Amino acid sequence: DTGVSQDPRHKITKRGQNVTFRCDPISEHNRLYWYRQTLGQGPEFLTYFQNEAQLEKSRLLSDRFSAERPKGSFSTLEIQRTEQGDSAMYLCASSRQPLAGLNEQYFGPGTRLTVT
């Protein structure tokens, strides 16, 4: 069973540059989530997809952030005009459609972004 994969694992960029991250979920999972985790904090929810539809976006997702899941499989998260405050670990997770309440989310290894 292949788990959730993310690419790249690390990204260093200069302030003002655009960056794009990719997430490949577990193949039979139709839900895909993006979270951001800063040092010393728990992950914060950003957005999620059911198949190709983006169903929810957090207030944390400013207009510089955009996420897509064009064919309902992999997803990309783009940050435009990066700021130093964007430095964080970006986590992707996937899950099946919840049944009877259980919605276990399987997380990928994350992409660590450093904005200099």
- Which residues make up the interface to another protein (CB under 8 A)? 31, 33, 35, 40-45, 48, 55-56, 58, 89, 91, 93, 98, 100-110, 112
Please state the closest distance from residue 78 (CB atom) to another protein, in A. Answer: 19
Residue closer to another protein (CB basis): 82 or 94: 94
Residue closer to another protein (CB basis): 14 or 102: 102
| 32 sits in which H/E element | strand 31-37
Residue 93 and residue 108 in contact, taking contact as beta carbons nearer than 8 Å: yes
Amino acid code (one letter) for 110: G
Please state the closest distance from residue 110 (CB atom) to another protein, in A. Answer: 5
Residue 89 structure tokens: 């670990």
Give the Cα separation of 20 and 14 in Å (integer).
14
